C-alpha cells in the first residue's frame, strides 16, 4: 500500500490543451502542484501508476509524496478529472503541505455495526459520505469511523456525536452549533411508519 502513495513526476514546460492531449495519448497524466506560497509547477505522471493508486480509497485522504526529478514533495490530492466514460485520468491537482501547518481536506466516513440497527427493525440512512476536517498532516486520518450500534429507531447522529481522532476537528462544527449536520439516521420501516400515521389520523378523527 505504501508504494501507492509515492508517485514519480516530471516537470513539464509544454503547456496547453494540445500538449495535454499529446501526453494522454502517450499514457501520461498532466497535473499541477501548488500551495504553501510557492509558484505552481506543471507536472507529468505515468497513467498506469496513477490509475492503480486512485483505485484505493485512502489515496484521496492520505499524505502523498511526489518524487519530482529526485526532489520529494509531500502533498494532498485536491482534484482529479476523469474521462466521462473511459477509464482515463485526465488531470490532477496536488496541494503542497507543510508538517507544521494545518490542512483542510475531506475524508470518507465508514459506518460500522449497521447490523445492530437492522436487528431493531430499522434501516440506516447515510446523510454524508465524507466530512470536512482540519488537522496537522501527521494527524490526518484515512477515514472517520462512525459507530451506529447504539442508534435507536428514529434517532439521528450529528457531527457533534462523532468521535474525531486526536488533533482532528470538524470544519462545519467550527462555524457554530447551527452547522451541526446530520450524519446518519435509523429510520423506522416504512410500513410501520405508515401504520403509526394512520393510527394518529384515526385518533384525531375520533376526537
CB 7 within 8 A of CB 31: no
User: Comparing C-alpha atoms, which of 158, 105, 114 is closest to residue 135?
Assistant: 105
Quote the pLDDT of residue 204. Answer: 47
The CA-CA-CA angle for residues 86, 92, 98, to 5°, reads 155
64 pLDDT above the threshold of 70 = yes
Per-residue pLDDT, averaged over 51-67, amounts to 92
Question: Which of 97, 119, 141 is the last residue in one of the domains?
Answer: 97
Quote the pLDDT of residue 1. Answer: 45
**What's the pLDDT band for 168 if we cut at 50, 70, 90?**
very high
Q: Are residues 141 and 55 part of one domain?
A: no
Q: Are residues 26 and 64 part of one domain?
A: yes
Separation CA 27–CA 49 (nearest Å): 10
Q: Are residues 111 and 54 part of one domain?
A: no
Quote the pLDDT of residue 191. Answer: 62
Question: Which of 70, 97, 124 is the last residue in one of the domains?
Answer: 97
Residue 149 belongs to domain spanning: 104-194
Q: Are residues 145 and 119 part of one domain?
A: yes
Quote the pLDDT of residue 205. Answer: 45
Q: Tell me how many domains the chain contains.
A: 2
> Which phi and psi angles does 141 have, rounded to 5°?
-85, 155
Q: Are residues 131 and 50 part of one domain?
A: no
Q: Are residues 108 and 65 part of one domain?
A: no
Amino acid at each position: 500500500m505504501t508504494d501507492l502513495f509515492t508517485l514519480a513526476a516530471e516537470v513539464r514546460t509544454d503547456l496547453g490543451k494540445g500538449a495535454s492531449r499529446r501526453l494522454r495519448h502517450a499514457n501520461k497524466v498532466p497535473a499541477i502542484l501548488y500551495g504553501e506560497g510557492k509558484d505552481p509547477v506543471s507536472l507529468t505522471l505515468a497513467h498506469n501508476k496513477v490509475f492503480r493508486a486512485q483505485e484505493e480509497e485512502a489515496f484521496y485522504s492520505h499524505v502523498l509524496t511526489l518524487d519530482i526529478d529526485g526532489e520529494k514533495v509531500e502533498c494532498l490530492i485536491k482534484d482529479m478529472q476523469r474521462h466521462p466514460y473511459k477509464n482515463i485520468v485526465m488531470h490532477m491537482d496536488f496541494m503542497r503541505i507543510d508538517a507544521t501547518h494545518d490542512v483542510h481536506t475531506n475524508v470518507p466516513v465508514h459506518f460500522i455495526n449497521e447490523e445492530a440497527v437492522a436487528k431493531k427493525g430499522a434501516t440506516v440512512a447515510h446523510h454524508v459520505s465524507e466530512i470536512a476536517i482540519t488537522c496537522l498532516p501527521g494527524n490526518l486520518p484515512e477515514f472517520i469511523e462512525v459507530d451506529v450500534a447504539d442508534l435507536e429507531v428514529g434517532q439521528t447522529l450529528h457531527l457533534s456525536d462523532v468521535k474525531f481522532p486526536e488533533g482532528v476537528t470538524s470544519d462545519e462544527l467550527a462555524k457554530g452549533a447551527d452547522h451541526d449536520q446530520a450524519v446518519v439516521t435509523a429510520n423506522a420501516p416504512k410500513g410501520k411508519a405508515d401504520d403509526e400515521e394512520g393510527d394518529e389520523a384515526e385518533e384525531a378523527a375520533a376526537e
